[in-house]
């Protein structure tokens, strides 16, 4: 089976785990501190970084740290993993679904503007498939209405936005390092911001709200006499996960080059009559996944045909406004895409010969009618 996505792991990750075993402390400590330092060097020296246990936790803590809670609203594009919606509703705030641009899958800024109310506190754009769409428009809208911007950058780690690594600019940027993202920690996430208060708050909230416990943990100690002022969570990253992430970060440029090269191969071979691509700038993204658009009458049978030929595909994503918990109206583009979308395999273990086989099998399907 050709998997739709997969982590790219080697002996370096295994050695990193062994190092933590030899040290003997698997929880949050020195490895996490070093991973945060290395991420900072990678992204930009004027940002602050807090690593957490998942990308969902990163979004949840970012939202809470902005003081967002019951009675508040956060606008999120409907076309995202349910994690973005769950992270917001976890604070007691209401996620408001907005529509997406058909060509990019990115937040439709005009629709987001229509959905702003006096209760709106933040916009949460999603870097769908690694693209940045009209992110500049999102920031302009946020500025006009005095809103925070929490970027769900789960798909775009190591990409470039406005000439800098994603995360180097912007308000609050959340990454995921789950087992299929651009780099993995096994499970993990990070919140990146230049706002020192937000960073300090997240560092407390990830350790059950225990004030200033992070610095103690980095030096192998912990707080015994402390204060807690608000609800926190057990969301810190472990040394094991950080060690895997550190090994992955060293390989990121090679991973990105491989993913871009595979997409160039798809471009060369893909049946352009029947397959439409999203408009995502390959020169600046580190592409996380490869969703395409197919005639909705053919989509499900194409998926089944590929499955018969041992090619795994998927749908990214079921629009959240169609889920019972988040049921809302008026996201027509997200619904159109839901009928057309098909995600083709993309990961660093894929070979050009796999892309050749996938594109040939797709062409065969359409020739047979």
Ligand X SMILES: *Cc1c(COP(=O)(O)O)cnc(C)c1O
What are the CB-based long-range contacts (under 8 Å, 24+) for 134-142?
134/101, 134/104, 134/106, 134/107, 134/109, 135/106, 135/161, 135/170, 137/109, 138/107, 138/109, 138/112, 139/170, 139/171, 141/109, 141/112, 141/113, 141/116, 142/171
- Residues from 209 through 238 that contact ligand X (CB under 6 A): none
> By C-beta, is 190 or 302 nearer to ligand X?
190
Using CB under 6 A, which of the segments 76-84, 116-124, 205-213, 300-308 binds ligand X?
76-84
Binding residue for ligand X (CB under 6 A) from 5, 64, 80, 285?
80
Using CB under 6 A, which of the segments 81-89, 136-144, 209-217, 324-332 binds ligand X?
81-89
Size of interface with ligand X, in residues (CB under 6 A): 14
Binding residue for ligand X (CB under 6 A) from 35, 81, 106, 326?
81
For the chain, what's the residue count?
369
Residue 353, CA distances (Å) to 262, 266, 350 in order: 10, 11, 8
Query: From the CB of 189, what's the least distance to ligand X, in Å?
Result: 5
Query: From the CB of 285, what's the least distance to ligand X, in Å?
Result: 14
Determine contact, residues 90/60, Cβ cutoff 8 Å.
Answer: yes
Q: Determine the Cα–Cα distance for residues 172 and 162; give it in Å rounded to an integer.
A: 16
> Is 195 an interacting residue with respect to ligand X (CB under 6 A)?
no
- Residues from 98 through 137 that contact ligand X (CB under 6 A): 126
- Residue window 133-172: x/- pattern of binding to ligand X, with contact defined by CB under 6 A: -------------------x-xx-----------------
> Is 54 an interacting residue with respect to ligand X (CB under 6 A)?
yes
Binding residue for ligand X (CB under 6 A) from 178, 195, 271, 356?
178
Residue 340, CA distances (Å) to 117, 189, 198, 230, 301 in order: 31, 30, 39, 44, 12
> By C-beta, is 192 or 302 nearer to ligand X?
192
Q: What is the binding site for ligand X (CB under 6 A)?
A: 54-56, 80-81, 83-84, 126, 152, 154-155, 176, 178, 189
């Amino acid at each position: 089976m050709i998997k739709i996505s997969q982590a790219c792991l080697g002996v370096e990750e295994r050695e990193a785990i062994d190092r933590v075993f030899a040290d003997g402390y698997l929880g949050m400590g020195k490895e996490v501190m070093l991973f945060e330092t290395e991420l900072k060097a990678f992204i930009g020296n004027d940002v602050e970084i807090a690593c957490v246990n998942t990308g969902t936790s990163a979004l949840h803590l970012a939202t809470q740290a902005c003081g967002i809670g019951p009675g508040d609203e956060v606008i999120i594009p409907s076309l995202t993993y349910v994690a973005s919606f769950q992270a917001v509703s976890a604070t007691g705030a209401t996620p408001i679904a907005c529509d997406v641009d058909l060509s990019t899958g990115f937040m439709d800024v005009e629709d987001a503007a229509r959905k702003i109310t006096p209760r709106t506190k933040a916009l949460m754009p999603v870097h769908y498939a690694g693209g940045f769409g009209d992110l500049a428009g999102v920031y302009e809208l946020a500025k006009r209405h005095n809103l925070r911007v929490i970027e769900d950058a789960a798909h775009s780690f190591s990409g470039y936005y406005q000439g800098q690594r994603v995360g180097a600019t912007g308000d609050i940027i959340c990454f995921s390092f789950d087992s299929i993202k651009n780099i993995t920690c096994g499970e993990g996430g990070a919140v990146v911001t230049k706002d020192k208060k937000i960073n300090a708050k997240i560092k407390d909230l990830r350790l059950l709200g225990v004030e200033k416990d992070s610095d103690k943990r980095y030096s192998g100690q912990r707080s015994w006499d402390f204060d807690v002022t608000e609800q926190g969570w057990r969301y810190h990253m472990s040394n094991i996960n950080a060690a895997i992430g550190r090994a992955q970060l060293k390989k990121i440029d090679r991973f990105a080059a491989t993913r871009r090269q595979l997409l160039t191969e798809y471009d060369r071979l893909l049946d352009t009559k029947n397959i439409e691509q999203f408009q995502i700038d390959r020169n600046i993204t580190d592409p996380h996944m490869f969703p395409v658009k197919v005639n909705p009458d053919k989509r499900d049978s194409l998926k089944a045909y590929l499955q018969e030929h041992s090619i795994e595909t998927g749908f990214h994503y079921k629009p959240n406004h169609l889920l019972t918990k988040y049921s809302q109206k008026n996201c027509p583009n997200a619904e159109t895409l839901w009928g057309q979308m098909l995600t083709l395999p993309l990961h660093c273990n894929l070979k050009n010969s796999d892309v050749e086989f996938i594109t040939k099998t797709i062409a065969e399907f359409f020739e047979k009618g």
